[in-house]
């Protein structure tokens, strides 16, 4: 356990790149933090950092140690969770990286349902899209990730996957509202509240719009789905979202599925880092989310 404190210090300095900033976060003096790291380096028989004029940077030995540190902390969290299960009280912490589409309602609902049964489990939610969610897994910042259209990533083990239709979002009194399905060409007759280039839905839309060879009038563009939904409720514009990402907001917006001939379905993926053994709390939560998604939206 003594080494765990030192490893935490080394990990923090590796992330911050600064003895001073890490000392402030860890509530110790910079000189005490430097001494801890130097003592550990002496015990290990090698230096771990390059001392640069503008801060600290891990050397190759330090990079190896950082991977070991991440494994150690992940193993320790899993051990604590397993010990808690022996006593009949599940404790632990779960870190989730999720696409923005799921951060407003879906993930909070799942956390609420889990904490009703296990109130001693805490959560961190990182909003990450595309490759950034996979990076959160490989950096051990997240235990699991739920993302839309992730890039091919051999380091990500898929736990569950669903195909999701894209829906057009609009005001309930919009001329297109009330239809079960809508063609993309009908949507493009109206100004569009367009998802930003960093969002997976934008890439699907862009390909379909090019194929349709129709002009697009963009009224507003944003990388925030909350902004897009809010604006769609204010003007006769059309925005887009996958079915699982549409909040139940009491009829503030109407949703019509876009015809599959115009827009391909998007892949919703729940995954973890390949080869990583999750803590009991994280594994149980991932299992709950997978069951919930398939129950609510059907197998993909």
User: Where do the CATH 1.10.10.10 domains begin and end in the chain?
Assistant: 2-66
For domain 166-264, the CATH class is alpha beta
- The residues facing 92 across adjacent strands are 121
- Higher pLDDT, residue 72 or 216: 216
Residue 52 CA to residue 75 CA, distance in Å, equals 32
pLDDT of residue 1: 52
**3-state SS track over 210-230:** HHHCCCCCEEEEECCHHHHHH
**3-state SS track over the chain:** CHHHHHHHHHHHHHHHCCHHHHHHHHCCCHHHHHHHHHHHHHHHCCCCEEEECCEEEECHHHHHHHHHHHHHHHHHHHHHHHHHHHCCCCCEEEEEEECHHHHCCHHHHHHHHHHHHCCCEEEEEEECCCHHHHHHHHCCCCCEEEEECCCCCCCEEEEEEEEECEEEEECCCCCCCCCCEECHHHHCCCCEEEECCCCHHHHHHHHHHHHHCCCCCEEEEECCHHHHHHHHCCCCCEEEEEHHHCCCCCCCCEEEEECCCCCCCEEEEEEEECCCCCCHHHHHHHHHHHHHHHHHHCCC
User: Where do the CATH 3.40.190.290 domains begin and end in the chain?
Assistant: 166-264
> Taking all residues of the chain, what is their mean pLDDT, rounded to a whole number?
88
Q: Spell out the residues 6+ positions from residue 131 whose beta carbon is closer than 8 angstroms to its own.
A: 150, 151, 153
User: Where do the CATH 3.40.190.10 domains begin and end in the chain?
Assistant: 90-163+268-297
Measure the CA angle with vertex 222, ends 219 and 224; round to 5°.
Answer: 135
Among 30-34, 76-80, 128-132, 287-291, the range scoring the smallest mean pLDDT is 76-80
**How does pLDDT run across 87-145, given as a tens digit for each residue?**
555 778 999 999 988 998 999 999 999 999 889 899 999 998 877 888 899 888 999 99
CATH of 90-163+268-297, picked from 3.40.190.10, 3.90.45.10, 3.30.230.10, 3.40.50.300, is 3.40.190.10
Longest Cα separation, the chain: 73
Among 35-39, 149-153, 176-180, 247-251, the range scoring the smallest mean pLDDT is 247-251
Q: Is residue 183 pLDDT above 50, yes or no?
A: yes
pLDDT of residue 300: 41
- On whether the pTM is more than 0.75, the answer is no
CATH number of 2-66: 1.10.10.10
């Amino acid at each position: 356990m003594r080494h765990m404190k030192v490893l935490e210090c080394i990990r923090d300095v590796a992330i911050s790149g600064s003895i001073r900033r890490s000392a402030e976060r860890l509530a110790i003096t910079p000189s005490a933090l430097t001494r801890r790291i130097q003592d550990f380096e002496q015990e290990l028989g090698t230096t771990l950092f390059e001392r640069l004029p503008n801060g600290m940077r891990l050397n190759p030995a330090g990079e190896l140690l950082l991977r070991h540190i991440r494994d150690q902390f992940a193993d320790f969290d899993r051990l604590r969770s397993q010990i808690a299960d022996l006593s009949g009280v599940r404790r632990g912490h779960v870190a989730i990286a999720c696409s923005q589409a799921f951060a407003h309602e879906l993930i909070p609902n799942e956390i609420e349902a889990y904490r009703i049964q296990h109130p001693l489990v805490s959560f961190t939610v990182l909003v990450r899209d595309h490759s950034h969610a996979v990076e959160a897994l490989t950096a051990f910042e997240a235990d699991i990730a739920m993302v839309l259209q992730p890039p091919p990533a051999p380091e990500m083990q898929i736990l569950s996957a669903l195909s999701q239709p894209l829906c057009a979002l609009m005001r309930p009194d919009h001329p297109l509202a009330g239809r079960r399905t809508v063609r993309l060409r009908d949507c493009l007759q109206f100004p569009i509240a367009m998802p930003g280039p960093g969002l997976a839905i934008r890439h699907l839309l862009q390909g379909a719009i090019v194929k349709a060879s129709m002009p697009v009038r963009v009224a507003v563009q944003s990388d925030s789905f909350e902004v897009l939904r809010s604006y769609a409720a204010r003007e006769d514009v059309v925005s887009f979202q996958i079915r699982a990402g549409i909040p139940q907001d009491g009829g503030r917006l109407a949703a019509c599925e876009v015809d599959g001939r115009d827009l391909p379905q998007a892949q919703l993926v729940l995954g973890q880092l390949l080869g990583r053994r999750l803590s009991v709390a994280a594994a149980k939560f991932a299992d709950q989310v997978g069951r919930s998604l398939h129950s609510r939206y059907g197998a993909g």
